[in-house]
């Protein structure tokens, strides 16, 4: 038995608290993503097709999928801070399924060796990867702080999902500048950014949110 | 007698607003509820520690309770998390003192089968659940558990490790 435990101490220590609010938990990551998108546009420039008001369909699809992936997983992360037995929140799985569209497309392109989509652009790709990861790291911070405040019960899953959400949202912010037009480039480098972010999340986040 | 879900939820909502009298009743009632919840799921000499740790977690994480949702599934998630954490610690006690499968009378009425620890364990593969009960709950050695189950000692260790890891991912499952 813990010697220093007393219900009276807990009662005396009681102060009013505001219940955690899901919208509040999503607001800060949304602000950071918006700020990074604005930063990329102001410092690196908006994609020319977006600037001309005539975006390529592939780019719209990329943006939509990244936003869907990022939002669905961030929503799951924020929910994880408020545990409850029987509370299902599996919507993110469908978003991940949708996001797999790109790597699967890349695989098909690679196998069929469509010449116009090969090879992968390396230099711009590394730059894209770095920018995506920088935005992802910043986006992950409020989610980690939110989880630390709450009571997540599955720490490893919280780590994976935080990395996945941050990766998707960070890539979405960078996509406003990203000059790629080929499915192979988009698939390889964006997938690399999201997978890297997820792995880093899995490795680091559980240690930060243990309670 | 332990207060029902509705009463406990109302007490928790008032506690979040800073009502100390309601909080005192809530902690006392939750402590009793936890005593039943953990009954036969860990050595009797470890139950008090586990209840206290869970109540401290309740206190520290009280803003994670969503007043639009039920109270018992919330405290059950916290209790399961603390229970798995306790099992993962290198915890030993005298073996053979528990009858794991026999729940205290009235337990199911109060807790609800869906949020119980028994329910959580049924989600594990049988061999993993069996060795976790023997080694981590009832305190048998690896060698004794190997003799009782017919699993090799290395397999017992692997199954305990894998089972606890899996339990940690299923805390909120029902």
Domain map of chain B by residue range? 5-169
- The class that CATH gives domain B5-169 is mainly alpha
Tokens describing residue A92: 């993110």
Q: Say whether pLDDT at A6 is over 90.
A: no
Tokens describing residue B58: 């309740």
- Residues A148/A210, Cβ–Cβ less than 8 Å: no
Please, how many CA atoms are within 13 Å of residue A91, restricted to the half-sphere of its CB? Answer: 16
Is residue A139 situated within a structural domain?
A: yes
pLDDT digits (tens, 9 = 90+) for A62-71: 999 999 999 9
Query: What is the structure's pLDDT at A3?
Result: 60
Domain total of chain A: 1
Q: Is B40 left (phi over 0), alpha (psi -120 to 50) or beta?
A: left
pLDDT digits (tens, 9 = 90+) for B24-42: 999 999 999 999 999 888 8
Is residue A85 situated within a structural domain?
A: yes
- With contacts defined as CB-CB under 8 Å, which chain B residues touch A17? 16, 62-63
ipTM confidence score:
0.85
Flag if B49 and A20 touch (Cβ within 8 Å).
Answer: no
- With contacts defined as CB-CB under 8 Å, which chain A residues touch B16? 16-19
A114: contact with B, CB 8 A cutoff: no
- Residues B9/B71, Cβ–Cβ less than 8 Å: yes
Tokens describing residue A91: 């919507």
Is residue A195 situated within a structural domain?
A: yes
- With contacts defined as CB-CB under 8 Å, which chain A residues touch B49? 1-2
- With contacts defined as CB-CB under 8 Å, which chain A residues touch B62? 17
**Measured between alpha carbons, how far is A190 from A128 in angstroms, rounded to an integer?**
8
pLDDT digits (tens, 9 = 90+) for B40-73: 888 888 899 999 999 999 999 999 999 999 999 9
Which one, of B134, B137, B127, lies nearest residue B158 by Cα? B127
Q: Say whether pLDDT at A135 is over 70.
A: yes
Is residue A23 situated within a structural domain?
A: no
- Residues B45/B84, Cβ–Cβ less than 8 Å: no
Nearest by CB to A17, which of B56, B63, B173?
B63
**Measured between alpha carbons, how far is A170 from A164 in angstroms, rounded to an integer?**
10
pLDDT digits (tens, 9 = 90+) for B89-133: 865 555 554 555 444 444 445 446 788 888 899 999 999 999 999
Query: What is the structure's pLDDT at A115?
Result: 56
pTM of the model: 0.88
Query: What is the structure's pLDDT at A166?
Result: 97
Structural domain boundaries, residue A120: 29-209
Flag if A18 and B63 touch (Cβ within 8 Å).
Answer: yes
Nearest by CB to A157, which of B60, B67, B169?
B169
């Amino acid at each position: 038995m813990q010697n220093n435990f007393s219900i009276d101490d807990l009662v005396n220590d009681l102060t009013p608290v505001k219940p955690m609010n899901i919208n509040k938990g999503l607001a800060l990551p949304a602000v950071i993503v918006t700020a990074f998108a604005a930063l990329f546009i102001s410092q690196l420039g908006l994609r020319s097709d977006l600037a001309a008001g005539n975006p390529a369909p592939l780019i719209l699809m990329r943006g939509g999928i990244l936003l869907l992936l990022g939002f669905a997983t961030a929503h799951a992360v924020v929910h994880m801070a408020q545990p409850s037995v029987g509370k299902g929140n599996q919507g993110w799985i469908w978003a991940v399924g949708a996001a797999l569209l790109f790597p699967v497309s890349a695989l098909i392109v690679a196998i069929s060796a469509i010449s116009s989509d090969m090879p992968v652009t390396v230099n711009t790709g590394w730059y894209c990867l770095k920018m995506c990861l920088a935005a992802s790291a910043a986006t992950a911070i409020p989610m980690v702080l939110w989880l630390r405040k709450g009571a997540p019960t599955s720490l490893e899953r919280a780590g994976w999902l935080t990395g996945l959400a941050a990766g998707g949202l960070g890539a979405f912010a960078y996509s406003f500048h990203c000059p790629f037009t080929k499915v192979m480039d988009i698939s390889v480098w964006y997938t690399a950014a999201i997978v890297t972010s997820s792995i880093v999340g899995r490795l680091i986040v559980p240690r930060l949110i243990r309670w | 007698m332990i207060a029902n879900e509705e009463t406990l939820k109302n007490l928790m909502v008032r506690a979040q607003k800073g009502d100390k009298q309601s909080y005192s009743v809530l902690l006392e009632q939750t402590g009793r509820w936890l005593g039943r919840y953990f009954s036969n799921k860990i050595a009797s000499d470890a139950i008090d520690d586990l209840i206290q740790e869970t109540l401290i977690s309740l206190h520290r994480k009280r803003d994670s309770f969503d007043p639009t949702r039920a109270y018992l599934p919330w405290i059950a998630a916290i209790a399961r998390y603390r229970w798995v954490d306790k099992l993962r610690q290198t915890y030993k006690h005298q073996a053979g003192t528990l009858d794991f499968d026999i729940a205290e009378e009235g337990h199911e009425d109060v807790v609800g089968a869906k949020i119980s620890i028994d329910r959580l364990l049924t989600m594990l593969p049988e061999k993993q659940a069996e060795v976790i009960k023997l080694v981590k709950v009832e305190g048998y050695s690896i060698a004794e558990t190997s003799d009782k189950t017919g699993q090799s000692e290395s397999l017992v260790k692997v199954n305990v490790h894998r089972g606890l890891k899996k339990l940690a991912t299923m805390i909120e499952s029902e």
